Structure formats: structure tokens, C-alpha cells
Structure 1
Amino acid sequence: MAKKSETPPIYVTRRGPNLTGEMQADRDRIAEIPEGERIRVEIRTGRVPKRLAFYWAFLRNVVEATHCAPNEKILHQLVKLRTGHTDDVIMGGYVIKVPASISFENMDEPTFVRFLDSAIEFIALEFGITPESVERAA
């Protein structure tokens, strides 16, 4: 999420060589920029909220089926540690690995897809549960 002192991002889609505001609110904000004014654009592909929702639902299903963790948030921390999605912190002369963020702000969609694939692989190997097995059970 954007910080309060920042303006929210404008989302655009590519149409040939042009970038066009995705929604009317985006197009309205673009229209407020004076013609010919130089603007800075940071290219980042958008995250897919449905994919993130799938991940959390899958974790909930794994916890319900295996009781491997008190809740999906704790399982999420374990998944990040076991898939190597960590940050290194130096404490007392030792390097300690702590779970890194998967927030929209900190991870682009291609990186999240790789993380999700690793998470599914870890869960399948460790707990014997796959998204397909959850669908069959439902």
C-alpha cells in the first residue's frame, strides 16, 4: 500500500507503443498532468490478487487437514523459511535467517509465482497435500 505522503500509483495497460490508464480513475489522473510535461514511470507488473488468495486458502486447507501449525499464518512463516524466502540479519556475530515479506510492495508477480511453486512443492513433499488433492476432497 502507498504511504500516506505518497500519491497512489496509476495503473496502465500497454496498447502498441502507448500506455493507457487501466481504469477511468487512472485516466482522469493522467488527464490532470499538463500536456508535454515530463513524468517518471516505474515499470512493475501488477500482482494477481486471486493468486495470493489461492495461496492463503491452500494454506488454510493444509492446516485443517494436517494440524501442522496453529493457523495458516504460522504455516506461512514455515513455508518462507523452508523455501529460502528469507532475509539475513546479523545478531551477536551470527547470521540469522528471518522470513521475508511477500507483500505486493516487496515482491513482483513473477517472483511470487516462483515462490508459490516452491511453497506447493514443499507442502507436497512435507505433508503430502497438493492443490489437486484439496480440490478432489472438496
Structure 2
Amino acid sequence: MAKRPEKPIYSFIRKGNVLMPEMAYDLRALDGVANGQRVRIDIKEWRNLDRLKAYWSLLHEAVDATGMSVSAEKLHEVIKLDTGLVDLVRLPNGMTVAIPASIALDRMSEGEFIAYFQSAEEWLARVYGFVSEREVAA
């Protein structure tokens, strides 16, 4: 079965009790919507990209400092498994296995990512005794 095309994502900024399109692209999303017409929207906050970059920086720093994994990407998968960030999948033989879940921007809220990031830092400290230089400096 063919995968459904993803819907475009538009960005609006709240100004008082009004949502204003952020750019011309976002404004064009309103083409064909009449004034006063009722529409459905899904409110989702944008994720903090600086925090996501800090997470990956932490993993690279940990790998470089300790050699605990062959790569930051592999360490990322291990951390997700060991901290319980998993999806459970039932195999054809009836056995259920845990596979690492996604931290993708569209799969996890900012609050969920903050909690996951903190659990990853705690895991690195507990399992490997690793604390980021940025944490030590703070």
C-alpha cells in the first residue's frame, strides 16, 4: 500500500487572541478559507532545535571522552532502550520485543524531550560515570 503524502506544516504566531501567519507560505494556507469560516487546527509547539543539538553534542562528547560506543548514533539507540523509550512490537511468533522509539520532532513534544534528555544525562552518569564538561562548568 502506498504511503499517504504528508500534510504540509504551517506556522502561526499568537498575537493576543489572533493567530497570525509567520510567512507568506503560511498565509497561502488560508487561500480558499472564507472570513468567518470555521476550520480545524492542531496546536503543536515547535521543538527547541538548540536543545536537540545539545543532546547530540552530549552524545558525541561522551563517545569521544570514553569510547563507550562506536558512535553517538549507536549510543543514542542504547540509551533509548535502557531508559525505556521504546515501542513494543509483537512478532509473528507471538513474542513481544522492544525497539527504540523515535525522538523525531514530530513524534515527541518539547516537554517529553526535556524529560528524555534529563534521563539520558542521568543514565550516562549512572552507567558510565560520564558528566558533560558543560554540566561540570555549570
TM tier, shorter chain?
Answer: 0.7 to 0.9
Alignment of 1:18-33 (within 5 A): 18-30=18-30, 33=33
Instruction: Return the alpha-carbon distance in structure 1 between the equivalents of residues 25 and 83 of structure 2.
Output: 39
State the one-letter code of the partner of 2:105: F
Q: Match for residue 16 of structure 1?
A: 16
Size of the alignment, in residue pairs? 134
Instruction: Return the alpha-carbon distance in structure 2 between the equivalents of residues 7 and 98 of structure 1.
Output: 27
Instruction: List gaps (5 residues or longer) in structure 1.
Output: none
* Preserved CA contact (<8 Å) 1:47 1:109: yes
Per-residue Cα deviation, 1:39-86 (whole angstroms, up to 9, x for no partner): 210011111111111111110000001111100010000010111000
Instruction: Return the alpha-carbon distance in structure 2 between the equivalents of residues 36 and 44 of structure 1.
Output: 23
Q: Match for residue 41 of structure 2?
A: 41
Q: Match for residue 105 of structure 2?
A: 104
Instruction: Return the alpha-carbon distance in structure 1 between the equivalents of residues 7 and 99 of structure 2.
Output: 31
* Preserved CA contact (<8 Å) 1:10 1:26: yes
Instruction: Return the alpha-carbon distance in structure 1 between the equivalents of residues 98 and 135 of structure 2.
Output: 34
Instruction: List gaps (5 residues or longer) in structure 2.
Output: none
Mean Cα deviation higher: 115-124 or 26-35: 26-35
